[in-house]
Amino acid sequence: MPWPTHAAPVHRTAVGQETAAPAAAAAGEASAHAEHGTQPLLQVQDVSLVYATARQQVRATHRVSLDVFEGDRFVLLGASGCGKSSLLKALGGFITPAEGQILLDGQPVHGPGPDRVVVFQEFDQLPPWKTVRENVMFPLLASGQLPRAAARERADAVIAKVGLTQFADAHPHQLSGGMKQRVAIARALAMQPRVLLMDEPFAALDALTRRRMQEELLALWEEFRFTLVFVTHSIEEALVVGNRIAILSPHPGRVRAEVNSHAFDLASQGSEAFQATAQRIHRLLFEAPPVAASPAAPGAQPPSAAPPVREARDLADGLQPTWATMPVSL
């Protein structure tokens, strides 16, 4: 099956190497890609997402900036409520940033489009009255991307890739949860999007099926080298699925750090390096960063002690973030 992507960019940093600061991370990635002549496929620039409810405004993310390159498996990792799903919806064009912008191939994103396909957590996103083949063909026909015969051909090719040829004429209720998820992924891949957006796609699966789906996703990526943005709150899943991980601070989400995880896979899960990186990510997620040093007022006494470390949970409900986006020393 044709797939119009380029080879995945090679990342240069060492296994599990965290970058010292989001800005430095972005700059490091950008300059390295510039050396290879690559520009970001997707750019998130100072994006704040705000929900206006009848009683209040909820700030889901605060000035988030990210660059996603072609062939990246880019993970958004953070605690519940840090704005991961909101960010993914904004990438999909379903919500508009209150400030900042999102660019795809250098062009501002103004709404949903067939170039960005979302796979949600709910498996029952498949219309139950359609067969597996019809489900996979549906967006190709609805978007006018292909005529019926070509859509069927492409659907059958992708269904074969996800190992469901025998079930092409089955209906969703005849499939297991994992199989339905494979159909959802096949349906997204059939569209050959520029970016595949996955929102905690395996969260509802049992541990064994989840592992199998991670394997299958990575196998599909090896074959097609699509660009993936993947949301999870599992550190292990982030390390296995991603080649780059953006760690978001608690509500409202900001980029706390970026981790290069391209050398980890399912086989490395028990290794020392994997565990050590998982622990460092855990600290980044749940320990407050040091308080920014503010310029001392004339005549002010130097602080007598290190600033107290504040627990992330104390800040979780604050709409006004009290931590700045700060360089993280590792």
Residue ranges binding ligand ATP (CB under 6 A): 51, 53, 58, 60, 78, 80-86, 233, 251
Residue type, 31: S
Please, what is the minimum distance in Å from the beta carbon of residue 210 to ligand ATP?
16
Cβ neighbours of residue 144 closer than 8 Å, sequence gap 6 or more:
none
Query: What is the b/e burial string over 214-240, where b = at least 16 CB atoms within 10 angstroms of the residue's CB?
Result: bebbbebbeebbbbbbbbbbbbbbbbb
Strands 244-248 and 73-77: parallel
Smallest separation, CB 124 to ligand ATP (Å): 18
Distance CA 150, CA 198 (A): 26
Beta carbon nearer to ligand ATP, 64 or 158: 64
CB of 84 to ligand ATP, least distance (A): 4
**Phi and psi at residue 198, in whole multiples of 5°?**
-125, 125
* Least distance to ligand ATP, CB of residue 56, Å: 9
CA distance 194 to 69: 11
Among residues 209, 220, 222, the alpha carbon closest in space to that of 157 is found at 220
100/290 with CB nearer ligand ATP = 100
Q: Between 162 and 246, whose beta carbon lies closer to ligand ATP?
A: 246
Of 84 and 152, nearer to ligand ATP (C-beta) is 84
Q: Which residue has the tokens 């199998």?
A: 212
Q: How far is the CB of 169 from ligand ATP (least distance, A)?
A: 35
Query: How far is the C-alpha of 127 from the C-alpha of 118, rounded, in Å?
Result: 16
- Bridge partners (DSSP) of residue 45 are 101
Q: How far is the CB of 140 from ligand ATP (least distance, A)?
A: 29
Report, in Å, the least distance between residue 250 CB and ligand ATP: 9
Contact 229, 245 (CB under 8 A): no
C-alpha to C-alpha distance for 47 and 98, rounded to whole angstroms: 7
Of residues 71 and 78, the one with the C-beta less far from ligand ATP: 78
Nearest to ligand ATP of 58, 266 (CB atom):
58
Residue closer to ligand ATP (CB basis): 71 or 250: 250
Q: Measured on CA atoms in the order 75, 76, 80, 84, is the torsion positive or negative?
A: negative
